[in-house]
Amino acid sequence: MTMAALRWMLAPTRGGAAILLLIAAILLIAGYFSPWQPQTIDWSVHAPSPPDYARAHWLGTDALGRDAFVRLLHASAVSLLIGVAAASLSVALGALVGVIAGLAGGRTQRWLMRGVDVAFGLPQVFMLLLIAMVIGRGPLAVVVGLTVTGWLACARLMHVEASKLAERPFMEAARSMGLSLSARIYRHALPNLTTPLAVCFTLAVPQCVLSEGFISFLGLGVQEPQASLGNLLAQAVSEMERAPWLLMGPTLTLIFLVLLLNTLADRLQKSTSR
Amino acid sequence: MSARSLCVEHLTVSLDSSKTLLSDVSFSVDFGQCLAVIGPSGAGKTQLARALVGWQPTGAQITGRVSLNNPLVGAGHLAAAWQSTHVRIALMEQDSQAALTPHLTLHAQLAHVLAVHGHRHETVEQRTPLYWLQQVQMPEPQRRLGQYPAQLSGGLRQRFALALALAQRPAVLIVDEPTSAMDALGVAQFLALIAQLKHQGECALVLISHDLAAVARIADQVLVMAEGTVVEAAACHQVFTTPRHPITAALLGRPVSVTSELNVAGPDVPVGQPMRVLQLNAVSCRIAGRQILQQVSLELAAGESVALIGASAAGKTSCLRVMAGLTQPDSGQVITGHRSDDFLKPAVLLYQDAASSLDPRLPIRQSLSLALSSLRSQCPPLLNDEPALLDSVLIDVGLDIQLLDRYPHQLSLGQCQRVQLARALLQRPQVLLLDEITSALDHVTAMHITRLLLKLKEKGCALFWVSHDLALVKMCCSRVLVMDQGRVVEAGPTAQIFQSPQHPVTKALVGATLAAWSVPGES
């Protein structure tokens, strides 16, 4: 029953994406209907408290007495923002490198793609630690870290696509007309590569949202008192025995967000490949 | 009407009330007979082929009836009807490159077809891929089986596409421009194969072609189409001897009569010291481990028109690519002439498949203005009046200004070829490298484009033709080079090459062409 309902919601033809988008929008604005603020402590409850509808703590409070529901909404917005920002930057960087390598060919291609190969060899966690050390922990470190480690896959995919495109007669004609590399990228390559670009971007966003959760869970990302799905989970795990309800919110929200983004990705790919 | 025949009644395909792709097309063709469909570019010939297979444009409305061996089927449900009655309609598409699966070897592609349709063949031998490559006279069939479509030349790809169609043992075989990239020998072999199929009488043949010599030799009936309607339908000899419709008469304009009309026999090179515009010095080139060009040397003077001929896979296209600077030679030199205000580019290559040489995502206007913008740094005053330049070049190539805002897929092949030529003219090249540019065009369009090119020649632009159409070569070129396995094996004035060919390859090519010209109705 549940699976059937889920499938119905996710079926692109039934506007599943639209429904999910609507739910996400409600989640993001619902915080305004709660009397609590993410950083406000309710001194009157015995923290952590289970859901208490009389005091409008719909998901209970955390160990410090802050409203879990409002913090969850706040955290969702932060995680989503970080995910979209990091995905945009890493796709832009990856596409730029991949398309230049694919269209330029020769030595430029060899050097750029060997660079990508080397960067692939560096462990992701090591890079994240390094970046957190250099620019300090926080949302900026997460975005930079995800960009630095996330653009490589996109660069490879775009390199392959651009190499194929470069062999097509109209690209050869543009090259022999003497159009500069930047003009060929802007006028010919990007319009013809919207589908692989959309694929890259839509794969990257949910991946970045998940990765943000992972990084903040490790304590390298978004720091208290600011909330993100990762650090909410970390707190919930430390209070797991006393307050198991705190685990539910961030876990389900993370699953829901990734599902939503993947459905949207599917829609976007279908519309660009038309 | 014989029981074993394909019969089409009142076939109409329309996108909406305003745009009709095919209108009231009726014909019938018996098994063992060949129906040829001819007509100018954009007449709806390919649309007819696709409609018969059951492929329809999105949102198209199809009416009319089709019958094969009696049962009548509504034309709108053909694909399902063919499927349910296990009738095989094989279509060999015009763009053989796009129709073949790029990541499978020839063996794998044929094996796929035989796995599905192998039970239709009687002998075990007919169920092996090698047999079908031998049927279409593919050179070195055993080696070719392990190759991919991209490794074949245009002519060989067409042979392979034909092998794929034949291996299905179709009840109806539709071939759309099957010989456009084949050399004269290939065409002769293709016609022999079609004659054999007719003799066997196992299928009805529909041939869509601009090659009227081939049509005259092989077809039993001819359907002349224009703008989606049938303007004339008659027996082959009747169409060729007494054409009734003006369009038919225009299509039948003979190469021979055009020769006198164009009168290109005069001196080719301007009097005085001819200016050398492009020279290859002992150029050799290896691609993927194979020697493609070996010690090729040639020279082009301003205002000269030279042809490079040879069998399929002789290295002609590779030679053009080296001349255009798209492929770097391993050894030897490519020397280009000096730039002047009249000639900004050393050489521009025109592709056979004009549609793929235009960016599918750009309207024609932008494709053309990009060509201008690439020259902006070289000659600023030239570009002051871009719209006027575009207009004048469009008039030169005979294109409607309204087409400027369309996309390449909305144009016919002939129109795409004109756009490609317009783009080349905007760049003011010293040499135009022409890769089979008229092979996919009907006679009228091809002649128009040829006239345009010859006008350019008079202005001092050199033309370098790669073509299988020796009638065209004889008409337009003063010198001919013959290429075989990457070497120039014979070179000389056109008349000499045609009258006393020396090399065996030249003899075979010229012999096959002369045989094609001497058919009834072509004299």
Output the tens digit of pLDDT for each of chain A's 274 residues: 456 665 655 555 455 566 666 766 766 676 677 777 888 888 887 778 888 888 778 788 888 888 888 888 888 888 888 998 999 999 999 999 999 999 998 899 999 999 999 999 999 888 888 998 999 888 999 999 999 999 999 999 999 999 999 988 899 889 888 888 998 999 899 999 988 898 888 889 889 999 999 999 988 888 888 888 998 999 999 888 888 888 988 999 889 888 888 887 777 777 766 5
Nearest-by-CA chain B residue for A194 = B361
Long-range contacts of B509-516 (CB under 8 A, 24+ apart): B509/B183, B509/B184, B509/B185, B509/B309, B509/B310, B509/B311, B509/B470, B509/B482, B510/B184, B510/B470, B512/B184, B512/B185, B512/B187, B512/B188, B513/B184, B513/B470, B513/B471, B515/B188, B516/B184, B516/B187, B516/B188, B516/B213, B516/B214, B516/B217
Residue A60 is predicted with a pLDDT of: 84
Residue B102 and residue B154 in contact, taking contact as beta carbons nearer than 8 Å: no
Q: How far apart are CA B59 and CA B20, in angstroms?
A: 12
Residue A9 is predicted with a pLDDT of: 52
Q: What is the pLDDT of residues B175-190, one digit of tens each?
A: 988 887 778 888 888 8
Query: B68-72, B102-106, B211-215, B476-480: which range is least confident on average?
Result: B68-72
Chosen for mutation from A160, A172, A177 (greatest number of chain B CBs closer than 10 Å) is: A177
Q: What percent of chain B has pLDDT over 70?
A: 89
- Could you tell me the two tokens for B510? 């010229």
Q: Which of B309, B302, B307 is nearest to B268 (CA)?
A: B302
Residue B384 is predicted with a pLDDT of: 64
**β-bridge mates for residue B348, sequence order:** B432
**What is the DSSP-derived secondary structure letter of residue B95?**
-
- Could you tell me the two tokens for B202? 């196992």
Tokens 């025109």, located at residue: B350
Mean per-residue pLDDT for B163-178? Answer: 89
**What is the DSSP-derived secondary structure letter of residue B244?**
-
pLDDT-derived band of residue B108, with 50, 70 and 90 as boundaries? very high
Q: What is the pLDDT of residues B353-379, one digit of tens each?
A: 888 899 999 999 989 888 887 776 666
pLDDT-derived band of residue B258, with 50, 70 and 90 as boundaries? very low
Residue B269 is predicted with a pLDDT of: 45
For residue A175, list chain B residues with Cβ-Cβ distance below 8 A.
326
Mean per-residue pLDDT for B456-481? Answer: 88
Residue A50 is predicted with a pLDDT of: 82
pLDDT-derived band of residue B268, with 50, 70 and 90 as boundaries? very low
| Burial group, residue A67, by CB count within 10 angstroms (0-12, 13-18, 19+) | buried
The CA distance from A98 to the nearest CA of chain B, in Å, is: 20
Report the amino acid identity of residue A162.
A
Angle between helices A68-104 and A139-166 (to 10 degrees): 30
Tally of CB atoms within 10 A around A64: 13
Q: How far apart are CA B474 and CA B210, in angstroms?
A: 18
For residue A168, list chain B residues with Cβ-Cβ distance below 8 A.
356
The CA distance from B374 to the nearest CA of chain A, in Å, is: 5
Q: Which of A213, A211, A93, A108 is nearest to A153 (CA)?
A: A93
ipTM of the complex: 0.71
DSSP helix/strand/coil, B483: strand
Residue B341 is predicted with a pLDDT of: 64
**β-bridge mates for residue B235, sequence order:** B221
Q: How far is CA A26 from the centre of its chain?
A: 20
Mean per-residue pLDDT for B321-330? Answer: 89
The CA distance from A179 to the nearest CA of chain B, in Å, is: 5
Please count the residues of chain A: 274
Helices (H) and strands (E) in chain A, counts: 12, 0
- Could you tell me the two tokens for B127? 């169920």
pLDDT-derived band of residue B55, with 50, 70 and 90 as boundaries? confident
Q: Which has more pLDDT, B1 or A253? A: A253
Mean per-residue pLDDT for B147-176? Answer: 88
Does residue B267 have a pLDDT over 60?
no
pLDDT-derived band of residue B261, with 50, 70 and 90 as boundaries? very low
Pairs of CB atoms within 8 A across A/B: 54
Phi-psi region of B312 (alpha: psi -120 to 50; beta: other; left: phi over 0): beta
A183 touches chain B (CB under 8 A): yes
Angstrom CA distances, B396 to A191, B251, B432, B456, stand at 30, 22, 16, 10
Q: H helices of B306-412, where?
A: 316-324, 364-373, 386-397
For residue B427, list chain A residues with Cβ-Cβ distance below 8 A.
177
Does residue B383 have a pLDDT over 80?
no
Contact B356 A169 (CB under 8 A): yes
**What is the DSSP-derived secondary structure letter of residue B306?**
E
Q: What is the pLDDT of residues B402-450, one digit of tens each?
A: 888 888 888 887 888 889 999 998 888 889 999 988 877 777 778 888 8
For residue A179, list chain B residues with Cβ-Cβ distance below 8 A.
370, 373-374
Q: Please, what is the end-to-end C-alpha distance for chain A in angstroms?
A: 34
pTM, 2 dp = 0.73
Residue A15 is predicted with a pLDDT of: 58
